[in-house]
Amino acid sequence: MSAVQNLSEEYRDCLQEITNVAMGQAGDRLARLLDTFVVLSIPHIEVMGPSDIVMALNSIDSTASVSGVCQGFIGGGISGEAMLLFNDTSFADLAKLMKYDHELDVQAERELLMDTTNVLFGACLKGIAEQIDMAFSYGPPMVLGQHQRLSELFNMENAGWEHALVTEISYHLEGYEVECDLLIVLSEDSMDILMKKLDYLLE
């Protein structure tokens, strides 16, 4: 059995604590940027296959139209991908919070998506890297798609992995219709090194 499939409760708890801290930092940065209160869910950490990700997200709202951004990261033998998915009802309020006064067309929404992504990914991945004493380098963020169903956004048939460690957390801006889900997908090849890092933290 591979390391990623053999994730113990102790490792899961440790990862949840690390993720909690990092995503809290990301939420705090977003709250300061937008001058509003950010509500976070408890991180959900699970070993998943490619098709499981879509199912897990569909359990949030299978009818919703969403827009998404992804960004790869790598460092010290650990590699993965961060993904941010926005419910499409978010854009009008997001524009208001970011004081964006122009017409809200597809390009404007793309800019709002990227601006928010940069804040959350930057703070979250930096927070994780610092806690496990690593440094990540990042690929360019890419828009997965805009105004699509989840099943259209994620074409996992061509995924290059069988199992991955997936961390999911939901962000909601209090008093606004802004909701997004942040996913961190760690490749199976990363798990041995990650677990050595966790062993060090657990000692």
Mean pLDDT of the chain: 83
Domain-wise residue ranges, the chain: 9-202
CATH class of 9-202: alpha beta
- Indicate whether 74 pLDDT > 70: yes
pLDDT digits (tens, 9 = 90+) for 9-48: 888 888 889 999 998 888 898 898 888 899 988 888 888 8
For a pLDDT cut of 70, what percent of the chain falls above it?
Answer: 89
d(CA 183, CA 19) in angstroms, rounded, equals 11
Q: pLDDT value at position 91?
A: 85
d(CA 70, CA 113) in angstroms, rounded, equals 11
- Indicate whether 3 pLDDT > 80: no
pLDDT digits (tens, 9 = 90+) for 138-193: 999 999 888 888 777 776 665 666 788 888 888 888 888 888 889 898 888 888 88
- Higher-confidence position of 159 and 49: 49
Which of 23, 39, 51, 6 has its CA nearest to residue 167? 23
68: left (phi over 0), alpha (psi -120 to 50) or beta: beta
